[in-house]
Structure 1
Amino acid sequence: MTKPSDISPDTLLAAVASGLLTAEQAQGLRDLESANAPVLDREPHDDEKFRFISGFSDIFVTIGLGLFLGALGYFSRDMVGNTGMFAVIAAASWLLAEYFTRQQRMALPSIVLLLVYAGAVFSTVAEAFNPSLRFGVGLGNHGGLPIVVAGLATAVAAALHYRRFRVPVTIAAGVAALVASVVGVLFMLWPDFAVEAAKPLLLACGLAVFTLAMRFDLSDPQRQTRRTDIAFWLHMLAAPLIVHPMVGGLVGEGGSEAVSAWSILAIFIALAIVALVVDRRAILVSGLSYAGFAFGSLVVKAGLSDGVVPLTMLVLGALVLLLSAGWHALRRTLLPLLPGALAVRLPAHT
């Protein structure tokens, strides 16, 4: 447990950001503290650490925010309608962030308030353009203009929010809004084949988001600054955009063909290799459900349909545990195979 005299991780990050310490000096202090700490007090090494919750007060406040904003939306809807309700929630989220984010620096409430704010801004603009539009339903009939405008407005609103509060997830929220705008343009200009073209477009957007995430990652290989948190959330966004178009098409109506199952498993293994190389486990999360389907399909083919669910869970659980246990050893094997100029810019821990 941290003592009052200890230097907190946030203080070290601030020292690096201000130039008081270099990233190497800060890491040296962390290593020294870890080496001198009792065994039970030592934290396992994790290159994907980020501030998600700083204490139970974060959970307590988040529950309160959910209750307050939910009730506020209920009462404001009766007075000002759907569009006005979303606008009220967006304004309330910003005002609450002035205290819980800007002053109290609470991690989980800040993330929740940002997501609620971005969603409310998007819904406000989409409702204003087309009150019958609900989460993309009816794009073919009404065109993608509401989604395009709402996405662009949300991206601008996210940029203003980041300038004010500096919450790392804000960048991913803004990028997600831009992706929605790109999809909206497709439905607006080519509605006849938009559904068929949506998956390749989402894949292209996912690769673009992954590239942006890697730019942040490569600029901070020691993962000591806010850029690594921004990259984490961008990877969380990029993963489903990449995985769903790639393996979604392999899942047919029956979804039990062995060829498709093996293809899905091959894609999942490829994703695991990429995740190991860039040291981002988030890439694997989106592939787990599809890998589960693939294992289930293979089990059905083998005639063991009664045990599909437990056997799938067993294999997936074992795979995740093996990757977790051997993560750093596998990375030490893979990194030397990369070009030297790239390998030195990636996290490389023994």
Structure 2
Amino acid sequence: MTPGFPTASAEVFRDILARGVDTAIITQDQAERLAALAAGPEEPADDERLRFVTGFADVFVTFGVLLFLGAVHVLGGSMLGGGWSSALVAVFAWALAELFTRRRRMALPSIVLLLIFTVSCAYAAALAIAGTPSLPASLDREPVTVFGAAAVTVGLVALHYRRFGVPITIAAGTAALAAALVALAASIAPEPVAAHLPVIVAGAGLAVFALAMRFDLSDPARLTRRSDIAFWLHLLAAPLIVHPVLSALVAARSDMALDSNATASLSASGAQASVLGVVLLLSIVALVTDRRAILVSGLAYAGYTIGDLIRQIGLGNSALPLSLLVLGAFVLMLSAGWRPLRRAVLRLLPGDVSRRLPHPVGL
């Protein structure tokens, strides 16, 4: 928050700077210098700012949007069928975005409307391509349907971003593009893709992470819309990277636990150590990039592993509360010491690398 300004005024000032850079009225360097001048010698109150709600009006409008579009979906489904109902919801979501996104610039309704628009477009396109009133329970055997629906969604989401410029749109379009590419590969070589799907998903996550870092590095002071785009891309990349790796380790641990011999027990312990090691690595990456979303995706697996360790020492009845206690203490300690820990980690990096990273906490 800018010293001397109410929170709302600081958000308005930041939005003005972001719009000034996006419309080429001022340069990125000028925006950073103006923000530094307004902030004075103090550090910003939050080192990973993201605007969701500017007032209760955002929550109130979002509630109305969900009620209205939910009713459109139900009524449209009963009269027109699932595909046309989803298309109708997408049309109404676009129309509502004209008011609440383009004119009133409300953050939370804009995010919700974009998500509803994306899902509705994907579902309507999938039903149209499949030519059926409903989709099968599993789409992994329908790569052509997934590819077509994802490709259509990418195009429509691109039009949405060009019209409204909601930061989360880039992440939604990237997710659809990744789904399209994986489906295309599955249609060409189904067996290799099925056999190596976790590796492919993790690779897609790394590609999304690289894109997120590109946006982050282009706005090191986190003043413009590019910082918000990077946040949503990191939020998308994290589970794509973390889930295939940690789920494989947890599954390996579960399989080894069924074998009672000493070798299996040692291997199971190694799998547990690997899970915790990956979470520690994620913590370091989160500190380096100053993005907590990367770490949050691994906390569930860390909690499972900690509970497993607690059960092994004979405290099975208290495994859940104790694992939550340890996990909560870790998160709180990391949050409380985020800035000094980040400074310490960045000092270990080469100077030219450290200088290019986001430094919103006055490092």
Task: Provide closer, same or farther for how the CA distance between residues 132 and 306 of structure 1 changes in structure 2, counting only shifts above 3 A.
Answer: farther
**Equivalence for 2:138:** 137
* Map 1:71-220 → 2, pairs under 5 A: 71-130=71-130, 131=132, 134=135, 137-140=138-141, 143-220=142-219
- The answer to whether 1:23 aligns with 2:31 is yes
The alpha-carbon deviation at position 12 of structure 1 amounts to 3.6
Residue equivalent to 1:39: none
What's the CA shift for 1:188?
1.8
Q: CA RMSD in A?
A: 2.2
Written as runs of structure 1 = structure 2, the 5 A alignment for 1:265-344 is 265-344=276-355
Q: Which runs of 5+ in 2 are unaligned?
A: 258-267
Counterpart residue number, 2:262: none
- Quote how far apart the aligned CAs of 1:194 are: 3.5
- Is the Cα–Cα contact under 8 Å of residues 97 and 110 in structure 1 kept in the other structure? yes
Deviation at 1:27, TM superposition (A): 2.4
Give the drift of 1:180: 1.1
CA drift at 1:45 = 2.6
TM-score (norm 2): 0.88
Deviation at 1:3, TM superposition (A): 8.9
Please name the residue that 1:2 is paired with.
Answer: 6
Please say if residues 17 and 31 of structure 2, whose CA atoms lie closer than 8 Å, have aligned partners that are also in contact.
no
Alignment partners' CA distance in 1, 2:21 and 2:251: 51
Q: Which deviates further from its counterpart, 8-17 or 296-305?
A: 8-17
Aligned positions, number: 340
TM-score by length of 1: 0.91
Q: Is the 8 A contact 2:83 2:128 kept in 1?
A: yes
1:185 is displaced (CA, Å) by 2.0
Aligned partner letter, 2:34:
A
| Aligned-residue offset at 1:181 | 1.1
Distance 1:346 1:3, change over 3 A: closer
Q: Is the 8 A contact 2:32 2:223 kept in 1?
A: no
Q: For the Cα contact (< 8 Å) 1:111–1:169, is it kept in 2?
A: yes
Residues 213, 254 of structure 1: alpha-carbon distance in 2 compared, 3 angstrom cutoff: closer
**Range that drifts further, 244-253 or 54-63:** 244-253
Provide Cα deviations, 1:185-217, integer angstroms capped at 9, x if missing partner. Answer: 233223334433110000000000000000001
For structure 1, the residue ranges without an aligned partner over 5 or more in a row are 36-42
Quote the Cα distance in structure 2 between the aligned partners of 1:107 and 1:321: 28
Aligned residue number for residue 248 of structure 1: 247
Q: Could you tell me how far apart the structure 2 residues matched to 1:198 and 1:133 are?
A: 26
- Offset at 1:254? 6.8
Matched with 2:263 is none
**Alignment deviations for residues 260-303 of structure 1 (CA, whole Å, 9 cap, x no partner):** 22111100000110010011111011111111111111112212
Q: Secondary structure at the match of 1:250?
A: helix
Report sequence identity in percent. 47
**Partner amino acid, structure 2, of 1:2:** P
- Supply the AA of the counterpart residue of 1:14: R
Distance 2:104 2:110 in 1: 10
Q: Distance in 1 between matches of 2:234 and 2:337?
A: 21
Amino acid of the structure 1 residue aligned with 2:239: P
Q: Tell me: CA distance 1:339–1:134, structure 2 relative to 1, closer, same or farther (3 Å).
A: farther
SS of equivalent to 2:54: coil
Counterparts of 2:17 and 2:350, CA distance in 1: 32
| CA positional deviation for 1:249 | 0.7
User: Does the residue aligned with 2:175 lie in a helix, a strand or coil?
Assistant: helix
Taking a change above 3 Å as real, the CA distance of residues 286 and 4 of structure 1, as seen in their structure-2 partners, is closer
Tell me which amino acid in the other structure corresponds to 1:139. D
Looking at both structures, which has the greater relative contact order when contacts are Cα pairs under 8 Å and sequence separation is at least 6?
2
